Structure 1
Amino acid sequence: MRDIRDVKIADLLVDQANYRLPPQANQRDAIREMVRDQKRKLTVLGLDILTHGLSPSELLLASESTDQPGKFVVYEGNRRVTALKVMESPELALGLPTEQAFKRLGEQFKAKPIRSVDVCVVPDRETAMFWIQRRHTTGHNGAGVEGWGAMAQDRHDRDHDRPARRAIMAMELLEDGSDEWRRVSTRLEPRTTTVDRVLDMPYFEATLGVHFDTQEVVIEFENKDQQAGEDLLRRILTEMADPIFKFERVETADDRRTFIDSFSSYSVKKKDPPPADADTSASDSAHEGKGDATTAAGAPDANSGQTGTGTQTTNSGSGAGSPTGSGESSGTTSGAGSASDTGSSTGSSTSGGRGTRKRKDPLQRDTLAPTKQPYLLRVSGLRMSKLYEECKALKVDKHRNAAAVLMRVFLELSTDQFIKIKGLPVPTGMAQNGKSWDDVKLKPKIEAVTAALDPRKVDRGLDSARSAGADFIHGIPTLHRYVHGLDYVPEPSELKATWERWHPYLHRLHETINPL
Structure 2
Amino acid sequence: MAYRLLPLNDLLVNRANDRHGELENETAAIAWLFNSKEDHMKALARDIVDAGEIYEPLLVSPINGKFVVFDGNRRLTCLKVLKEPNKAPNKNLQSYFSSLKEKKNFVFPDRFMCQVETDRDRVDDILFRRHTGNQSGVGQSNWDDRMKANFVNRTGKGNAVSVADEVEQRLVAANMAPKHRKLPRSTMNRLLSSEAFRNRVGFSVSRGKFEYTHQEDVVLRALQRIANDLARRETVLGDIWDVDGKRAYLDKLEADGLLPTVKDSLTKHKDFGSVDSTKKSEDDVNSKKAKAASVSVSKPSRRVNLIARTDYGIAWPGRLQRHRAIWEELQFHLVLPDHSNAVSVLFRVLLDLSIENYISQNELTVGANDKLSLRALRIAEDLHAKKKIDHKYLGEIKKFQHADRLISADTLHRYVHSPDFAPSPDHLVALWDTLATFIVCCLKS
Q: Which has the higher contact order (CA 8 A, sep 6+)?
A: 2
Give yes or no for TM over 0.5. Answer: no
TM-score tier by shorter-chain length is 0.3 to 0.5
- TM-score if structure 2 supplies the norm length? 0.36
Higher helix share: 2
The structure with the largest alpha-carbon Rg is: 1
